[in-house]
Structure formats: C-alpha cells, structure tokens
Amino acid sequence: MKDFQWRRFKKWWLIFPPYAWLILFFAVPFLIILKISFSEAAIAQPPYTAIFEYANEKLVINLNFGNYLWLFTDTLYLNAYLSSLKIAAISTTLCLAIGYPIAYGIARMQGSIQNLCLMLIILPSWTSFLIRIYAWMGILRNNGIINNVLISLGFVDEPIRLLNTEFAVYIGIVYTYLPFMVLPLYANLVKLDSRLLEASADLGAGPIRSFFSITLPLSRGGIIAGSMLVFIPAVGEFVIPELLGGAEILMIGKVLWGEFFGNRDWPVASAVATIMLLLLLIPIALFHRYQFRELEEKS
Amino acid sequence: MANVSKFTKIVLGFGFFFLYAPMLVLIIYSFNSSERVNIWADFSFKWYVELFRDDAIMSAVWVSLKLAFFSASAAVILGTLAALVLARAGKFTGKTVFGSLVTAPLVMPEVITGLSLLLLFVAMVNSFGWPQERGFLTIWIAHVTFCMAYVTVVVSSRLAEMDRSLEEAAMDLGANKIKTFIFITLPIILPALVSGWLLAFTLSLDDLVIASFVSGPSSTTLPMIVFSSVRLGLSPKINALATIMILTVLTAAFAAYYISSREERTRRQGELINED
C-alpha cells in the first residue's frame, strides 16, 4: 500500500510541471479573455473597467454585454468573420488538392529519395515565415516579376493588380501551410497496405475506382488532421492578409489586431477573440480527437 | 522510382518550384546594387554591408537568438515531460484535459494566444505585482507555451516507435526507473529531442504576432523590425537578411541530411555483416 502511494506520488511529480504550465499559461488566459470581454473600455491603466467591485459590504458585478451587441450590430465584424471562414475554407481546399497528390507521390517512393523529397517539403517551413510572405510581395507587385514577364511577352499592356487582392491571400496561405497539409497525409498514406490495392485490381477495379473506394476512405484521418492544421490557424491569420491582402481584404485576425493596437479597445478585442474561439471549437475538437487518438494509439 | 507515375512527377516538380522559386528570387535580388528592389543594376554586396551596419537590426538579431535559445531549451524539457506523461503514465485523472491542453496550441490562431497571454500578464500585475515590466521574460513564457506543443508531438512519435523491451530488459536486470530512463530511454529519444529543440528554436525566432502582444517597449525582436520595415514596402536590406537566414537553414538541413543518411548506410552495412 505504501509502495503504491509512493508510485502515484512519483507519477504526479512527472505530470505536474507541464500540466501546471499549460493550465496557467494556456487555459487560464482564456478565462481572462472571457472576463475582459464583459468589461468596458476605459482610459485607464489597464484600459478597461473592473467587473467585480467590493465596497460598503456590497459586491457589485458589472457585466457589460455592449461589446457583443456591438459585434452583432456593426456589419464590419460579421463580414470579417464570414470572409475569414470563406478564405480559410477555400485555402484549405486548395492545399488539399495540391498536397494530396504530393503526399501520395512521396508515399509511393522508396528509400533515400523519399526522405529527400520529404525534407524538401518540410524545409521551407524552417525558414522564416515572414520572409517567405515578403518574397511574394516582391513577386506579385505591379512591377514585380510576374507582371514584368507578362508585359515583356506581350500578354498584357499594363500590369494587372495581383498584390492586395484575395488571390494574393490564397497564394500566401497555400504557400505557408502546404507542408502542414502534406505531412499528416504522408504519414497516413505511407501506412497504406499496397496489398489492398492489388486485391482490388485483381477483383477488376480500375485505378480510379480503387482510389475512391480504398485509398481515399483509408486516408480520412490524414485528410482531417491536415485540413484542420490549415483551416484553424488560417481563420485567425493576421500577417498574410495584412501584407498581401491590403486594406480591402477583411479578415477577423486583422480586425482583432486593429481593435487592440489601433483603437486600444481591449474589451472589444476580447469579445472578437471569444466569438472566434466559439466558431473554431468544433474544428479544434475534431483535430484534437484525431491527434490525441494518434498519440495514444502509438503508445 | 519505378512505381511513381508521370503525373506524380509533374505534380512534385510543380510543387517544389512553387515552394522554392520565391526564395530564389529573394536571394538573387539581395545582390542587386539598385535601390529599386525589382530592377537589376549590378552585382554587389552593398546591402549586406548596410545590414551589418544597422544597429537596430543587429541588436534585434541578438535578442531573438537569445530568446529562441532559452525558449527552445525550456520547451524541450517541458515538452518531453508531457510526451512521457502521455506515453508512459497510463491513465490518470484529467488525462483528456491534459491531452487537449497539449495539442490545442498547435492550431490556436496566434492572435488569440497573444491577446490571452497579454491579458493574463496584466491581470497578474494587478493582483500580485508580477511581472512588473513586459519584455524578454513575458515573450519567453509565451514562446515556451506554444513551442512545447510541437516538441511533445515530435518526442511522442519517437517514444511510440521505440522498442519497449529494451526498457523492460534494463529493469529486469535491476536498474531502477531513473537509471533506465537515463541510460536506455534518453539515448534512444535523443534525436527527437534535438529535432524538437531545433523546431522550437526556429518557431521562436520566427514569431511576430504573439511577441507583439506580450512584449514591452524595451525588447524588440527581429520579426518585429522586419515586419515594420516590410509594411512600408520592399527593402533591399531585408533581402540580404532573408538570404542569410535561408542559406543558414539550407546548409544546416543538408548537413543533417547527409550525416543521417551516411549513418543509415553504415548501419545497414553493419546489419548485412551481422547477417553473414
């Protein structure tokens, strides 16, 4: 009995540091966001009013729903949420369409060439993300490489606007997040038992039918994980729409940034973040279910 | 390569072109002497000289490197502990919550993480007066938090692949848990710790959004400087900086690839000899 308790104690000694860290610096901050989203902006340090006040033996709770009402009355926020979801969904689809054949191709390769191709896919994500977005600014500009080539070939007379468009944002997101799509897909496809495909071919299915009835359903886990790894961060993306999308492209990450750094309205920024988190709850749960199962399954 | 179809080769070729062409353009134009970034004048190292003379950039580089080093080191310790807990601690109360806390930072939009941590630091100052000033320390805390999730994933997959009978054999031979961990488990998962550390290092070096929220006026990281100058348009100095960063990563990656593939080859040869 004593030994049993001692072992439990040692186990908790192992669990405690990462658990405590994550609760304090990851879970608790969300509760604070939720709290601040119900306070009012004020010219003070910090710039919001207190929710709980205790004076004269009375506890006064000032819950302000104004921030949320404001988000629903001003169409700017609604449009920003919708446009973020749309841009993230389209980018995820594009990533999947480009990433699936790449992952499939690499999974079919052998030995050192497979490792090399895999490394070439991951490598860009080890270099600075900001720098890679910056590279696209130079390419898509009115006097950038694409326009210069198009003009010198005589396809267009004057430069077409590529930078500061939705198109540029799609390019930026696909470019940045493609490795995050390819990796889980690859990890999934490489485990695919090729005998299943042989069996299906023996039974008379063509390669297309085999793909849709065997390969695709079996790679569902990889598709979900990859898509969520692209979709969720893309919804809240700030740098890409800011640098490639220009002023007209509305995304909620940019709105949040503006509320916080521009307007210094912390409560509205918190309300924006809370709603964003609510919208992402289902995708995050989906991702977590897959990822956690993967971690547990292996061990 | 025999069973790779032509279609796959075309897709891969297109994919690699898409990934690498923009970086190549950046590198070429960093040697351009013209002030106008997209018009080629002459080959020169002018912007590299200017870059090294820029004190603001150089001190930001130093801050960012220090930050990345300390963040990666702490993230490896906490992330490895978390991976060990998930893989070895069996069932315990709150394991599902622990699992979601570990995986959620991987996908959480940066603006949310940044804002939530800033509000936490402000609330902490108000209730017990710490941290007095936002800066290096608060950015470090933020970076450790999101980097440890990546380390956990990398180390977990290595732990899952490893042969557990080695640990069992050591314990059968009388080693206790700590000894087994130090002499058996740790050497086996060491490559994962190294790649986890490197990944955390690059993630920390690269972060703009979270650091912008939690930093104070006294500490400016490299991405902040790059962002504020890029916002105003193209700058040849940034091209030079980008070239140095890209070439460093490329060299390190190919060196690591070369070493690991040579090791693999010797190992395979060794196995062949043993079989004989």
Q: State which residue of chain B sits closest to A259, comparing Cα positions.
A: B115
Q: Does A9 touch chain B (CB under 8 A)?
A: no
Domain count for chain A: 1
pTM assigned to the model: 0.90
pLDDT at B232 over 70: yes
Residue-level pLDDT at A2: 45
Structure tokens belonging to residue B27: 């590198």
- Check residue B23 and give its pLDDT: 92
Q: How confident is the model at residue B1 (pLDDT cuts 50, 70, 90)?
A: very low
Arithmetic mean of pLDDT, A97-126: 88
Distance in angstroms (rounded) separating the CA atoms of residues B223 and A131 = 9
Q: Does A262 touch chain B (CB under 8 A)?
A: no
**Is it the case that residue B157 has pLDDT exceeding 90?**
no
Let me know: does B119 contact A55? Beta carbons within 8 Å: no
Is the pLDDT confidence value at A5 over 70? Answer: no
Judged by CB atoms closer than 8 Å, whether chains meet at B8 and A116 is answered as no
A63 — contact with chain B (CB < 8 Å)?
A: no
User: Is residue A52 one of the residues assigned to a domain?
Assistant: no
Question: Mind listing the pLDDT tens digit for each residue in B161-217?
Answer: 888 888 888 888 888 878 888 888 899 899 899 989 999 999 999 999 999 999 988
Phi, psi of A48 (to 5 degrees): -155, 160
Note the Cα A264 to chain centre separation in Å.
25
Q: Which domain holds residue A268?
A: 67-298
Do A105 and B250 count as a contact with CB atoms less than 8 A apart?
A: no
A83 within some domain: yes
Query: What are the domain boundaries of chain B?
Result: 57-275
What number does CATH give the domain B57-275? Answer: 1.10.3720.10
Least confident of A231-235, B45-49, B61-65: B45-49
Q: Are A170 and A90 in contact (CB under 8 A)?
A: yes
Residue A128 Cα, gap to closest chain B Cα (Å) = 5
Spatial distance between the Cα atoms of B140 and A253, rounded to a whole number of angstroms: 23
Residue A60 is inside which H or E element, if any?
strand A58-61
Residues of chain B in contact with residue A115, where contact means CB-CB under 8 angstroms, are: 257, 261
Q: Testing the interface with B: which of A13, A45, A127 to mutate, by most B Cβ within 10 A? A: A127
The pLDDT tens digits of the residues spanning B2-44 come to 456 787 788 888 989 999 999 998 898 889 887 766 677 788 8
Pick A284's closest partner by Cβ from B94, B107, B241: B107
- Of the candidates B81, B122, B250, the beta carbon closest to that of A46 is on B122
pLDDT grade for A278, boundaries at 50, 70 and 90: very high
Q: How far is B242 from chain A (nearest CA, A)?
A: 6
A280 interfaces chain B, CB cutoff of 8 Å: yes
Beta bridge partners of A60: A53
Position B88 pLDDT exceeds 50: yes
Q: What is the pLDDT of residues A179-209, one digit of tens each?
A: 999 999 998 898 888 888 888 888 888 888 8
Q: By the 8 A CB rule, do A287 and A224 touch?
A: yes
Q: Pick from A139, A135, A180, A193: which is nearest to A163 by CA? A: A139
Among residues A95, A88, A166, A175, the alpha carbon closest in space to that of A136 is found at A175
pLDDT at A1: 42
Closest CA in chain A for residue B251:
A123
Q: Which of A90-94, A225-229, A295-299, B270-274 has the lowest mean pLDDT?
A: A295-299
- Tokens (6 digits) for A29: 């901050």
| Residues facing A61 on adjacent strands | A52
* Model pLDDT, residue B225: 93
For residue B72, pLDDT over 80 is answered with yes
Closest in A117, A239, A273 to B112, CB measured: A273
- The answer to whether residue A161 neighbours chain B at the CB level (below 8 Å) is no
- Give chain A positions within 8 Å (CB) of B246: 127, 131
Does residue B233 have a pLDDT over 90? no
Can you tell me the mean pLDDT for A84-92? 97
Alpha helix positions (H), chain A: 2-22, 28-36, 66-73, 75-108, 111-122, 129-140, 145-152, 166-189, 194-202, 207-210, 216-218, 220-235, 239-240, 252-257, 266-298
pLDDT over 70 for what percent of chain A?
A: 94
Residue A134 pLDDT greater than 70, yes or no: yes
| Secondary structure of chain B in HEC code, one letter for each residue | CCCCCHHHHHHHHHHHHHHHHHHHHHHHHHCECCCCCCCCCCECCHHHHHHHHCHHHHHHHHHHHHHHHHHHHHHHHHHHHHHHHHHHCCCCCCHHHHHHHHHHHHHCCHHHHHHHHHHHHHHHHHHHCCCCCCCHHHHHHHHHHHHHHHHHHHHHHHHHHCCHHHHHHHHHCCCCHHHHHHHHHHHHHHHHHHHHHHHHHHHHHHCCHHHHHHCCCCCCCHHHHHHHHHHCCCCHHHHHHHHHHHHHHHHHHHHHHHHHHHHHHHHHHHHHHHHC
Which of A10, A113, A137 lies closest to B234 in CB terms? A137
Q: What is the mean pLDDT of chain A?
A: 88
Q: The domain that contains A184 carries what CATH number?
A: 1.10.3720.10
More confident residue, B236 or B68: B68
Q: What is the pLDDT of residue A180?
A: 92
Asked whether residue A37 carries a pLDDT value surpassing 60, the answer given is yes
The overall average pLDDT reported for chain B is 87
